[in-house]
Amino acid sequence: MGGSIVGRHNKWIEKENRNVREIGYYSTPDFVAKYLSKRLLMINPNGEKVLDPCCGKEELLEAFFHRQLQVDGMDIESYKSEYCCSFHLQDFVRFHEKIQRDKANLQEQDYDYYIANPPYNCHEVDFISKNKTTLMKQFSDVGVLNMYSMFISALIDMAKEGALIGLITADSFFTAKGHEKLRRKIVETCAIHEITMCSNDLFHNQAADVRTSIVILQKGKKFQREVVTNNRPLSRTIFEKQLDKQLEMIRIEQHAGISLDELLMANPVDNMEFVIGCPPDIKGLFAGARIADEYKCVTGISTGRDELYLSKEKTGPYTVPFYKNPGRKRFYTENHLYLHKEFLTFDKEIKNFIVRNKPLLFQSGITCSSMGVEFAAARLPKNATYGVNANIICDEDDAWWLLAYLNSDLVTYMVRGVLIRSNMITSGYVSRIPLIAMEERDKTILGSLARKAHDLAQEGHPFEKELKEINQRVNHLSGISVESEEVIGRFKRNLIKST
């Protein structure tokens, strides 16, 4: 480490009674640590030097110690009284900044392996806000949304050609629009060897509800081969058994991989998302027309302070129907809110009261959910306004069949399993939902089913029969296989655990 990271430090800060969220430390489960280190050593069995930039209690390093490799570690805290690695009490982000300033140091980072469980859910918001100007300059190529993404970017910067980067990390960067630059940096500078999604209960025993994945990169595009990918398992128990089997299948070269093209959403309208476990025939639908090619998909009004400008009752100046996130309500959503009639005046006079897409207000169409696990759509009537959730403006003829389609399980899968793995579904994602080809007769049938479901929902009755027929027709029209229908079914039945 260019001489600056060697040496032991015996300073030990007792942390057993501290909240892990305060210090951002989550211990990597032993079976994950063993898998990740063994995979790195399988890909390159001849490396000599290792760096863990956030080494914690050295959970990720045991296999390298066993090989008697040269192991350096750093962290912002000391978690042990004695370290097996050459430990330095060091902020990795600051270390990266120093290297950027002194390019001569960059030549000294000759590690063969970088392995890390980067910090998340900790002090990052405060740290970023206090150091934003410096960080924006330091990470100008990828942005400063959170700590783990900065760690990944910094590791790529530091790695020499051929160096392996093994991560157990939060995986929101796979699909979030804000991380497009990071994804592109990875694709443009590294080979991607593996993305294995972890069960979402992996850190529950540490009171952490975070979705993570194992990611293995290698600096240099020339090293790209097939990518090992595995979708999110339903539980930690299943995941542990999966990794044992997976490691053996890879060792005997029996684990099927996919091409880099199959992994990426590389269409011009997409953002280089990493797509895990999507059947090719479903992914192929994204090569066709999208919602935005045919309809306006927009947001509306953000009041800044809903309690001042919205009312649950139509009273006094609160007279304008206002549709907010319909949540899980499909086909029909009740209107419980009314907007102040002077909202256009507020838009001119109040800084944080914003009315977007004014020409499209009061037009009918479809209002879509913006928060929550499930994706749902309901009719948006004429003469109404709407919030910052996605709203599709369309005429009466198109609204009904499109409503049926948007509430299908296929669309739920394409939204939550491909476009965005998190539960924040903005208009940008909804606008990129593929449209499938259908004849007017098909649209009429779907529209009729949607009307029935809408009326049943309005009366508080179940509409499972209509939704089942919608799913059957949409799956048939899309041309997907029976196997892909089964993938969708499993995903929908286990939506929270699968995303």
- Per residue in 217-263, pLDDT tens? 999 999 999 999 999 999 999 999 999 999 999 999 888 899 999 99
The pLDDT mean for the chain works out to: 92
3-state secondary structure of 337: strand
8-state DSSP, 123: S
Query: In the predicted model, is pLDDT for residue 8 greater than 50?
Result: no
pLDDT at 107: 56
**Structural contact between residues 377 and 406, judged by C-beta atoms closer than 8 angstroms:** yes
Q: Is 308 helix (H, G, I), strand (E, B) or coil?
A: helix
User: 54 and 147 in contact (C-beta within 8 Å)?
Assistant: no
What pLDDT does 206 receive? Answer: 86
| Lowest mean per-residue pLDDT among 8-17, 140-149, 150-159, 196-205 | 8-17
- Kindly indicate the confidence band of residue 6, based on its pLDDT and cuts at 50, 70 and 90: very low
Round to whole Å and give the CA distance between 163 and 170.
Answer: 22
In this prediction, residue 365 carries a pLDDT of 97
The conformation of residue 454, written as its DSSP 8-state character, comes to H
SS3 track for 50-111 = EEECCCCCCCCCHHHHHCCCEEEEEECCCCCCCCCCEEEECCHHHHHHHHHHCHHHHCCCCC
pLDDT in tens, 361-395: 999 999 999 877 789 999 999 999 999 999 999 99
Which tokens sit at 6?
Answer: 């060697």
Q: Is the pLDDT of residue 296 over 90?
A: yes
**Sequence-distant (≥ 6) Cβ neighbours of residue 214 within 8 angstroms:** 32, 35, 36, 39, 166, 167, 168, 194, 195, 196, 197, 198
Is the pLDDT at 64 greater than 60? The verdict is: yes
| The pLDDT of residue 105 | 59
Indicate if the pLDDT at residue 89 is higher than 90.
yes
Residue 210: pLDDT band (50, 70, 90) is confident
Please give the Cα distance from 112 to 72 (Å, whole number).
Answer: 12
Q: Which residues contact 116 (CB under 8 A, 6 or more apart)?
A: 52, 53, 54, 60, 151, 155, 165, 166, 167, 168, 169
- Determine whether 410 is exposed, middle or buried from the number of CB atoms within 10 Å of its CB (0-12, 13-18, 19+): buried
Q: State the Cα–Cα distance between residues 115 and 374, nearest whole angstrom.
A: 35
Confidence at residue 13, expressed as pLDDT on a 0 to 100 scale: 41
Question: DSSP assignment, residue 275?
Answer: -
Averaged pLDDT for residues 67-86:
94
The H or E element containing residue 194 is strand 190-197
Domain boundaries, the chain: 20-277, 287-498
* Residue 264 pLDDT exceeds 50: yes
Contact, 270 vs 177, CB < 8 A?
Answer: no
In CATH, which superfamily holds the domain spanning 20-277?
Vaccinia Virus protein VP39 (3.40.50.150)
415 secondary structure, DSSP code: I
Of 99, 109, 96, the residue nearest 142 (C-alpha): 96
78 pLDDT exceeds 70? yes
pTM for the full predicted model: 0.91
pLDDT-derived band at 124, boundaries 50, 70, 90: low
Q: What per-residue confidence (pLDDT) applies to 129?
A: 86
- Cβ partners under 8 Å of residue 217, min gap 6: 156, 164, 165, 167, 186, 190, 191, 192, 193
In whole angstroms, what is the distance from residue 285 CA to residue 458 CA?
Answer: 32
Mean of pLDDT values over 98-121: 80
Name the region of 372 (left: φ>0; alpha: ψ -120 to 50; beta: rest).
Answer: left
| Lowest mean pLDDT across 127-141, 189-203, 444-458, 481-495 | 127-141
Mean pLDDT of 117-142: 84
In 294-336, at which residue ranges do the beta strands (DSSP E only) sit? Answer: 296-298, 301-302, 310-311, 318-323
Residues in the chain, how many? 499
Q: Where does the pLDDT of residue 26 fall: very low under 50, low under 70, confident under 90, or very high at 90 and above? A: confident
Q: Selecting from 3.30.70, 3.90.220, 3.40.1000, 3.30.390, what CATH number does the domain 287-498 have?
A: 3.90.220
Whether 123 has a pLDDT exceeding 90, the answer reads no
pLDDT confidence tier of residue 157, bands split at 50, 70 and 90: very high
**Residue in this structure with the two tokens 């939550």, named with its chain if needed:** 416
**What's the whole-number mean pLDDT along residues 395-407?**
97
Over range 111-126, report the average pLDDT.
Answer: 82
With beta carbons less than 8 A apart as the criterion, state whether 220 and 159 touch.
Answer: no
Question: pLDDT of 439-470, one tens digit each?
Answer: 999 999 999 999 999 999 999 999 999 999 99
CA contacts within 13 A on the Cβ side of 123: 10
How many beta carbons lie within 10 A of that of residue 223, not counting itself?
17
| Segment 154-163 mean pLDDT | 96
Structure tokens, 161: 């050609």
Q: How much of the chain, in percent, has pLDDT values that exceed 70?
A: 93
β-strand 301-302 against 354-355: which pairing, if any? antiparallel
Q: Where residue 106 falls among pLDDT bands split at 50, 70, 90? A: low
Query: Rounded distance, CA 28 to CA 343, Å?
Result: 51
CA atoms 353, 357, 361, 365: torsion sign: negative
Residues 6 or more apart from 284 whose CB is under 8 A from it? none
Q: How confident is the model at residue 334 (pLDDT cuts 50, 70, 90)?
A: confident
